[in-house]
Amino acid sequence: MSEHQRVVALTWTARGIPVVPCSRTDKGAMVPGFGARATPEDLAPFTDPEQVRSWWSGKFKRAHVGLLTGRSTDGRGLVVVDLDMLKDDTEPPAGRWAGCQGGTDVLERLVDAAGADWPETYTVMTPSGGMHLYFAQPEDGPLIGCATGDGDTAPHLGPLVDVRGVGGYVIAAGSYSSAQGRMYERVSAPELLPQPLPGWLLDLLRRPAPAAPPRPAPVRLMPSGDRAERAAAAALASSVDKVADAPEGERNRRLFAAARWLGELHVTAPAVLDETTVREQLLAAALRCGLDGGERVALRTIRSGWERGLSGTGQGAA
């Protein structure tokens, strides 16, 4: 086993790919220093054949071979698309991805949407029944980083799909999982090495982040608005600004406090601080600041704060 693992590790270092010993129980890296901010000097031990030979001849002789993704000795390296299987205790994807039982289903939908063919590249079947698709990092532009599962920003691709780029690693083919009783097995043709990323896939991995929602339009009163209405409009504008500019960790608290305060003020100027206006203005502010949970959580918090504010003025029971 140790001889086999050493051969696998040295094969990849000969290709310029850094390697790291990984635990056979939890696949965790057993040597630090290769994170996303690692310099070429930091990565040098992971591509040094003598160091690699020493690792798999001594202390780590039975370790999995982890392949560092992102950078190689020529400054580029691998990016691996990791297609997971749906676990028994995990809820299946919904919405756009309803019916997908694994990352292969998700990638197939992305392939169909692009009008493309399934990418032919170096491919490894994992012990769990998933699949690793190896690609070369793009030759121009920024390197691809890491992402897990679904998300609005690159390089997220979808549920049950992980991306391993700069700062990440995958377990190499030839490693054996004692927990699952199976190998990481190469299933592509022997002569097929990691291929360049197809254009459609590279576009997804580099798609721009969605634009931040615009600030909610200010409430404008007719010149006939009385003093109470002007004060209510100023309170609404101030509340919206505080929520829109809320830092992480303060967003939900500020949203609740704003909704509660405006609920308390509702009785003073119901024409300005009607429930629909307050909800729409605060929701837009919450989405702009990036409230965790998005619209669903924001609406729940606004409703809770608004009702608390009304109850403090004796209107909640109505």
Q: What's the confidence (pLDDT) of residue 211?
A: 60
Indicate the DSSP class of residue 288: H
Q: Tell whether pTM > 0.85.
A: no
Amino acid present at 183: M
Q: What's the confidence (pLDDT) of residue 216?
A: 59
The C-alpha angle 281, 286, 288, rounded to 5 degrees, equals 95
Listing DSSP states for 249-284 in one string gives TTHHHHHHHHHHHHHHHGGG-TTTS-HHHHHHHHHH
* Separation CA 73–CA 87 (nearest Å): 37
Q: What's the confidence (pLDDT) of residue 197?
A: 97
Q: What's the confidence (pLDDT) of residue 210?
A: 63
User: Residue 70 to residues 16, 36, 40, 81: CA-CA distances in angstroms?
Assistant: 12, 8, 12, 12
Q: What's the confidence (pLDDT) of residue 184?
A: 94
pLDDT tens digit sequence for 149-176: 998 888 999 999 999 999 999 999 998 7
Q: What's the confidence (pLDDT) of residue 151?
A: 85
Total residue count of the chain as it appears in this document = 318
Q: Which residues of the chain have pLDDT under 70?
A: 1, 178-180, 209-225, 313-314, 316-318
* Separation CA 112–CA 51 (nearest Å): 45
Question: In a 10 Å sphere around its CB, with 0-12 CB exposed, 13-18 middle and 19+ buried, how is residue 261 labelled?
Answer: buried
Domain boundaries, the chain: 2-205, 227-312
pLDDT tens digit sequence for 64-84: 999 999 988 877 899 999 999
The answer to whether 194 touches 122, Cβ cutoff 8 Å, is yes
The C-alpha angle 205, 208, 210, rounded to 5 degrees, equals 120
3-state secondary structure 170-199: EECCCCEECCCCEECEECCCCCCCCEECCH
